[in-house]
């Protein structure tokens, strides 16, 4: 993670409406950098918009989600630094993507033409695997199993260190795991009481017992 993750992305270029992307003032014009900066909560793309771009996260984190008719939100995936996303099956997006925190995103352009498939396939495969994993987590019943699987996954993606940084809120986690914030919070507390994790603060977890974590997540 870079130093500029948390909240001081506000070099304060403008008084911005939350939800609008912040574009950097193009300081290094060797070649036109296609990196956009988004502040927390800013929309990267919306359902219904034309799809086809691939995005790579420079720093920050992204949630990809769908809104249901009654207002509920199901988060389908989180994406962290260096990960790719935006890849979807249809010509228009089925999901929304938002920056969770201040986030820098590089838009990758695909080669037009016949070898687009060769570029896209690995991404499709990766998406598929991720989605299948998440599916198995949601199929598991208990809140503890869902949360431990989530933590194990986040730790994995951050290099298996004992210290896991959670860039997202409890609400995000809840909407990702199909739980409520209260249950997520209580489950964190339970894992803490069992000395499986330590809560440095609400967004920083130290993993104390990997075995217990992996046991109950698989």
Unique residue bearing structure tokens 């938002």: 98
When CB distances are held under 5 to 8 angstroms depending on the partner's kind, the choice from its own copies, DNA, none that residue 183 binds is: DNA
Q: How far is the CB of 57 from DNA (least distance, A)?
A: 20
When CB distances are held under 5 to 8 angstroms depending on the partner's kind, the choice from its own copies, DNA, none that residue 171 binds is: DNA
Q: Which of residues 79-138 bind DNA (CB under 7 A)?
A: none
128 binds its own copies (CB under 8 A): yes
Unique residue bearing structure tokens 């977890």: 205
Q: Which of residues 26-65 bind DNA (CB under 7 A)?
A: none
Q: Taking a C-beta distance cutoff of 8 angstroms, is the pair 65, 76 a contact? A: yes
> Which residues touch 216 (CB under 8 Å, ≥6 apart)?
144, 145, 148
Tokens matching residue 37:
């900066």
When CB distances are held under 5 to 8 angstroms depending on the partner's kind, the choice from DNA, its own copies, none that residue 148 binds is: none
4 binds DNA (CB under 7 A): no
- In the set 77, 165, 181, 208, which binds DNA (CB under 7 A)? 181
Tokens matching residue 100:
């969770």
Site string for its own copies, 20-59 (x = CB under 8 A): ----------------------------------------
Bin 113: left if φ > 0, else alpha if -120 < ψ < 50, else beta: left
78 binds DNA (CB under 7 A): no
Q: Which of residues 184-203 bind DNA (CB under 7 A)?
A: 184-186, 188-189, 199, 201-203
Q: How far is the CB of 44 from its own copies (least distance, A)?
A: 18
Pick from 112, 47, 57: which is nearest to 79 by CA?
A: 57
Tokens matching residue 22:
């912040």
Helices (H), the chain: 116-139, 143-157, 170-177, 181-193, 210-217
Cα separation, 184 vs 58, in Å, equals 29
Binding residues for its own copies, per CB under 8 A?
Answer: 66, 68-69, 72, 74, 76, 88-90, 94, 114-115, 117-118, 120-121, 124-129, 131-132, 134-136, 138-141, 175, 178, 218
């Amino acid at each position: 993670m870079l130093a500029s993750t948390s909240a001081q992305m506000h070099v304060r270029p403008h008084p911005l409406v939350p939800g609008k992307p912040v574009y950097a003032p193009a300081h290094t014009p060797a070649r036109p950098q296609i990196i956009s900066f988004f502040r927390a909560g800013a929309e990267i793309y919306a359902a219904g918009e034309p799809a086809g771009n691939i995005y790579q996260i420079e720093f920050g984190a992204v949630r990809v989600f769908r809104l249901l008719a009654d207002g509920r939100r199901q988060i389908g995936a989180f994406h962290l630094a260096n990960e790719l996303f935006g890849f979807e099956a249809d010509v228009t997006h089925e999901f929304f993507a938002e920056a969770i925190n201040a986030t820098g995103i590089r838009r990758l352009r695909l080669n037009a033409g016949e070898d687009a498939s060769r570029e896209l396939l690995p991404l499709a495969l990766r998406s598929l695997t991720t989605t299948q994993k998440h599916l198995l987590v949601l199929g598991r019943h208990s809140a503890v199993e869902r949360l431990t699987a989530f933590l194990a996954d986040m730790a994995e993606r951050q290099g298996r260190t004992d210290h896991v940084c959670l860039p997202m809120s409890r609400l995000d986690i809840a909407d990702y795991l199909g739980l409520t914030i209260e249950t997520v919070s209580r489950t964190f507390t339970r894992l803490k009481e069992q000395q499986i994790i330590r809560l440095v603060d609400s967004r920083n977890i130290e993993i104390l017992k990997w075995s217990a974590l992996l046991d109950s997540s698989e």
